[in-house]
Every structure is written in structure tokens, then in C-alpha cells.
Amino acid sequence: MIRALLVPAFVLAWVSPAAPQDPAPQEGQQTVAKEFLKPADNRTFSITYTGRVLEIPAGTKKLRVWLPVPQDSTVQTIRDLKFSRDMSLSTENKYGDKIAYAEIESPGATAEITMTFVCTRAEVRIDLEKLADEGADPAGSYAVFRGADKLVTVDDEIRKLSGDITQGKKDTVAKARAIYDYVLQKMTYDKSGTGWGTGSTKFACEVGKGNCTDFHALFNSLCRAQGIASGFEIGLYLPYEKGKEEKLGGYHCWAFFRVPGKTWVPVDCSEADRFPDRAQFFFGGHTSNRVTLSTGRDIILSPKQDGAPLNYFLTPYAEADGKPAKTEKTWQYKDLN
């Protein structure tokens, strides 16, 4: 049974306005400042996300399960959030990611939790001309986006490469654009073979191919080597075409860099490689067919897991009597506008 102290599921449902609002910025969230946004459309859709824990060892006394939970931002509004089980909601300390958590006593061989919500997601188009005169951020700010992660390296080799790429560039936008162009020249979106999908800078440099995680690990590393705060979000990715209801969706990740004193600027290197005719858009732009589930790498959950920090948080994480258990996710969507 689920612990009685957990919050009833009906308490976790709320109603939000139909358009993205302006929540208070958090140090661990890459908040796009609305004053730098060009007019753009938005997209509203419902999501049914199902997380499963598989092959739970016989005799397990306690199963702990964590799910990533989407939250409001300046470009995303979440409403009607509900779960199929009683869950508690908390926020991890490093990035401010929202997490749903349950403890299941004496589970069977499998367990399943469904999360449903409605998302309104705005297309993001930054007016880059407004960033020409950058300001300054407080000393020590956005520290989690400046150093290395386990797989997002910032070493002497990366510093030298980043310096060569940005040579002669004076401002943050120009340096980030040179890095973006280099990543597109260096990398190919290719999921053949093994090793891709972990978001490893080393893999990206050595192999020159991979999926979105690998593209953006390289972008993050090269930006950070220049002292530019740069981070990573991951979530669900709908087909571009609206109207195809109840289709199984995929996942995607994307990146940002910080222009001091101004805003976070979105980039999507892997989509620019897949759709070369839109490469200009994806430097400073994100499409609306996505929902952010979590930010960042090397994540310590809340409550803290017994296992190692998570490389990234997209699929449910579970522990059976303190040991990691196999999980999977499936999800479906329905366009509402």
C-alpha cells in the first residue's frame, strides 16, 4: 500500500491560465525574459505519460518511484496535473526541477503510474538585435551552468578548442553563434552504432555523431569553456504537424546560453542539423511542439535516491529496497488547439 502521509491525488490538480505566465526566475531554471521575445504562436495539447517499473524482485518490501513533473515557465503553462496514484510533490535543490514521488509497500512484479496534464507551449523567437548591448549578472550567479558535469567536460582540450572557435569574437551572442556553427559542422544526427544518447562531450568530439543529447553536451561544454553559462533541458517532443491525435510521441533535449544581464537564449543544434533550412531559426528559437520535463545533468532527486545521481531525468526512476529497478515510459498526446 502507499503511505498514508502522501498527499491525495486530487489535491495535486490545479487550473492555470491558458497562456504562459511569468513565474519568479530561479537560479537553476533557464528563464527566457519576455521582453526579448518576438510575437509567436502557441500550441496547447494534453499529455498522458505512463511510467512503469519492470522486473521488481520477488520479496521486495518497499518500492520507491520518482517521476519528472513539468512546471510553469515564461514559455510553458501546465494545468490539470493529475496522477493515477497518490503522490507527493517536491523540488530538487540543484535546478529547481519538480518531482513526484511515491513509496509502494510490498509491490508485485511490476508497478505503473500515469501522469496527465495539459500544456500550453509558446514558440520562442528571441529578438537577437536587442542583445547587442549586454549587461552583467551578479558574481557567482548561475554556477550550475558554468562548470563541468560528469559527461559534459570542461578541460584544457575543450578550452583550447573553444578558444580557437571563438577567436576574434567579442560578445556573448557572437561567441555562442560561432560555437553553434561549429557544432553543426562537426556533428551529424545519426543514431547508428552504440555510445550515442548519453550526452557525452567526449563521444561527440571523437565520433562526431549522435542524437540531441550529444549535440547539446558539446555545445554546453564549448560555451562553458568561454565562461558562458549554458544548460540543458529535456522533455517530450510532439510531431510538427497538428491534428494527429493519440500518437505515441518521442523525446528531445535542447539547450540555452546566457547573455549577461539580459536573458537565456534558446538553441536547438540537433534540429538545425536535421532541418538545415531552419538553422537560422534554431539559433534563438524553439518550436512549440515540446514540453520541458526537467533541467540539467547529474541530478540528485527529492527525496534523495540511494543510487548515483541521474545523468538526466526523463524516464521514471525507481529503487526496490534501495537498489535501482528497471523502468520505462510511454506517452500519448492530443492537440487541443
Instruction: Kindly list the domain boundaries of the chain, sorted by start residue.
Output: 9-123+299-335, 130-293
| Local structure of residue 7 (DSSP, 8 states) | P
Alpha helix ranges (H) inside the chain: 156-165, 172-186, 201-207, 212-225, 269-274
The predicted structure's pLDDT at residue 337: 85
Nearest to 180 by CA among 245, 258, 69, 269: 269
Nearest to 289 by CA among 214, 216, 235: 235
* 306 neighbors 96 (Cβ within 8 angstroms): no
- 21 CB-near residues (< 8 Å, 6+ apart): 72, 74, 77
User: For the domain with range 130-293, which CATH number is right: 3.30.1370.100, 1.10.3720.10, 3.20.20.70, 3.10.620.30?
Assistant: 3.10.620.30
The predicted structure's pLDDT at residue 244: 64
* 83 neighbors 49 (Cβ within 8 angstroms): no
Q: Give the Å distances, CA to CA, from 201 to 91, 230, 302.
A: 28, 14, 27
The predicted structure's pLDDT at residue 20: 42
The angle, 0 to 180 degrees and rounded to 10, between the axes of the packed helices 212-225 and 172-186 is 140
Sign of the CA dihedral running 116, 247, 231, 41:
negative
The predicted structure's pLDDT at residue 22: 42
* 200 neighbors 151 (Cβ within 8 angstroms): yes
Nearest to 254 by CA among 222, 210, 224, 290: 290
The predicted structure's pLDDT at residue 136: 94
Q: Give the Å distances, CA to CA, from 52 to 7, 21, 147, 313, 328.
A: 21, 32, 34, 15, 5
| CB-side neighbour CA atoms (13 Å) of 131 | 27
> What is the model's pTM?
0.90
* 282 neighbors 268 (Cβ within 8 angstroms): yes
On the 0-12 / 13-18 / 19+ scale of CB atoms within 10 A, 289 is buried
Average pLDDT of each block of 10 consecutive residues along the chain (337 residues)? 35 37 61 95 96 96 98 97 97 96 96 98 97 92 96 98 97 98 97 94 96 98 98 94 67 97 97 97 97 97 98 98 96 92
Q: Give the Å distances, CA to CA, from 254 to 62, 267, 271.
A: 35, 7, 9
The predicted structure's pLDDT at residue 242: 79
Measure CA of the first residue to CA of the last residue in the chain; give whole Å.
39
The predicted structure's pLDDT at residue 172: 97
Dihedral pair phi/psi, residue 271, rounded to 5°: -70, -35
Task: Give me the CATH code for the 9-123+299-335 domain, please.
Answer: 2.60.40.2250
